[in-house]
C-alpha cells in the first residue's frame, strides 16, 4: 500500500441507458460507487451527521482530559456511555417517540 494519501471525490452523471441522474464516488479518479440521487442524499446527510458527532465526541474527550484531568479509562467509559445514550435518543426519534418536557423521559 502506498504512503500517498488517497483522494475521494464526487461527480454527477446522466446515465446513457436510462437517462437518469446518478452520483459517482471516485477514489484517485477511478469510480468505485454509483448511487441514485436519493441514495447520495442519504449518504451526504450521514457524512454530515457523523462529522458533527465526531467533532462533539472529540470536544468531550478534550474537556474531560484537559479541564477535569480525568483518567483515560474513565474518559473512554464516559464516551461509550454517551454514545449509547445518543443511540437511544436516535432510536426513540426514529420511532416517533417524544420526551416529557418536565422529566425528559422518553414517552
Residue 99 has pLDDT above 80, yes or no: no
> What HEC string does the chain produce?
CCCCCCCEEEEEEECCCCCCEEEEEEECCEEEEEEEHHHHHHHHHHHHHHHHHHHHHHHHHHHHHHHCCCCHHHHHHHHHHHHHHHHHHHHHHHCCCCECCCCCCEC
> pLDDT tens across 80-96, in order?
999 999 999 888 877 76
- The answer to whether position 81 is within a domain reads no
- The answer to whether position 60 is within a domain reads no
pTM attached to this predicted model: 0.72
What is the percent of the chain where pLDDT is above 90? 78
| Residue 97 banded pLDDT, cuts 50, 70, 90 | low
Q: What is the mean pLDDT of residues 73-80?
A: 95
Q: What is the mean pLDDT of residues 19-27?
A: 97
- The answer to whether position 76 is within a domain reads no
> pLDDT tens across 2-19, in order?
678 899 999 999 999 999
Tally of structural domains, the chain: 1
- The answer to whether position 58 is within a domain reads no
Q: Please give the residue range of the domain that contains residue 37.
A: 1-49
- The answer to whether position 94 is within a domain reads no
- The answer to whether position 27 is within a domain reads yes
Amino acid at each position: 500500500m502506498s504512503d500517498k494519501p488517497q483522494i475521494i471525490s464526487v461527480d454527477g452523471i446522466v446515465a446513457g441507458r436510462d437517462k437518469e441522474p446518478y452520483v459517482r464516488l471516485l477514489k484517485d479518479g477511478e469510480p468505485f460507487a454509483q448511487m441514485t440521487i436519493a441514495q447520495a442524499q442519504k449518504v451526504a446527510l450521514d457524512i454530515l451527521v457523523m462529522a458533527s458527532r465526531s467533532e462533539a465526541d472529540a470536544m468531550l474527550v478534550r474537556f474531560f482530559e484537559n479541564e477535569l484531568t480525568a483518567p483515560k479509562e474513565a474518559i473512554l467509559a464516559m464516551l461509550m456511555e454517551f454514545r449509547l445514550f445518543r443511540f437511544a435518543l436516535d432510536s426513540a426519534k426514529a420511532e416517533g417517540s417524544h420526551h416529557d418536557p418536565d422529566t425528559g423521559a422518553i414517552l
